[in-house]
A and B are shown apart, each in its own frame.
Chain A
Amino acid sequence: QITLKESGPTLVKPTQTLTLTCTFSGFSLSTNGVGVGWIRQPPGKALEWLAFLYWNDDKRYSPSLNRRLTITKDTSKMQVVLTMTNVDPVDTATYYCAHAKLNGNWYFDLWGRGSLVTVSS
């Protein structure tokens, strides 16, 4: 059974760096055709894809946030970490990590419950 759980601070000050951790179980990020992505959702707004990490450590980022995001993995700890620099109140959102698989296209088939992050001084 695949599970994912997001963790990190609930409150971050503007200009600080946000670090979020996705701890997963039930799959290996070393397996061909597996990936993990981060998606966020501001209160009352739509989902927004942020970053993606492939099983082979290749990475992709949202073009609009590319300069502020870094996604990494710790395979032994079964964790994927997202860092976002220079946060702003507009970054207030629920941040989700999700398991992705390749079947035709890459898509997210299972999601964590999300972690609400508020950016405020």
Chain B
Amino acid sequence: SYELTQPPSVSVSPGQTARITCSGDALPKKYAYWYQQKSGQAPVLVIYEDNKRPSGIPERFSGSSSGTMATLTISGAQVEDEADYYCYSPDSTGNHWVFGGGTKLTVL
């Protein structure tokens, strides 16, 4: 079955740039999406179609994708950005949806 691979954790100091990667064989042909999930809350979409930001998401969140890897970048990470981040993408058939294993971002 199709898998998306993320690092389990990323740690940065406030104001630094955090980068979270997601690798998957179908990413050259499928968009990547990113969700932020704070403790005890439902996931929130922060990036769609590789690099687009929904309304209300701060400009410090950006996304990119190249080959089999997508990247979520948080420029000038803030303490309130501490959360689990999940990438998401369909498999090559487009019929099944897959989440990455999640990355815990620590900002301290």
Chain A residues with CB under 8 Å of B97's CB are 37, 49, 52, 60, 106
Q: A109 on the interface (CB 8 Å rule)? A: yes
Please tell me the size bucket of the interface on B: 20 to 34
List B residues 24-79 near A (Cβ within 8 Å): 30-31, 33, 35, 37, 41-45, 48-49, 54
Point out the residue from A62, A96, A105 that lies within 8 Å of B90, measured CB to CB: A105
| B99 with A46: CB separation less than 8 A | yes
Given contacts A107-B88, A113-B42, A114-B42, contact A62 B96 (CB under 8 A): yes
Q: A1 on the interface (CB 8 Å rule)? A: no
| A64 with B99: CB separation less than 8 A | no
| B49 with A112: CB separation less than 8 A | no
List A residues 85-121 near B (Cβ within 8 Å): 96, 103-114
Given contacts A46-B101, A47-B102, contact A63 B96 (CB under 8 A): yes
Point out the residue from B31, B96, B99, B101 that lies within 8 Å of A104, measured CB to CB: B31
Chain A residues with CB under 8 Å of B37's CB are 47
Chain A, Cβ-Cβ closest to B101? A46
A63 to B91, CA, bound (A): 12
| A111 with B99: CB separation less than 8 A | no
A20 to B42, CA, bound (A): 17
List A residues 1-60 near B (Cβ within 8 Å): 37, 39, 46-49, 52, 60
| B102 with A108: CB separation less than 8 A | no
| A49 with B95: CB separation less than 8 A | no
| A64 with B42: CB separation less than 8 A | no
Chain A residues with CB under 8 Å of B48's CB are 103, 107, 109
| B96 with A60: CB separation less than 8 A | yes
| A108 with B88: CB separation less than 8 A | yes
A residues within 8 Å of B by Cβ? 37, 39, 46-49, 52, 60, 62-64, 96, 103-114
B residues within 8 Å of A by Cβ? 1, 30-31, 33, 35, 37, 41-45, 48-49, 54, 86, 88-90, 94-102
Between A and B, 12 residue pairs with Cβ closer than 8 Å are A46-B99, A46-B100, A49-B96, A60-B97, A96-B43, A104-B31, A106-B90, A107-B48, A108-B45, A110-B45, A111-B42, A114-B42
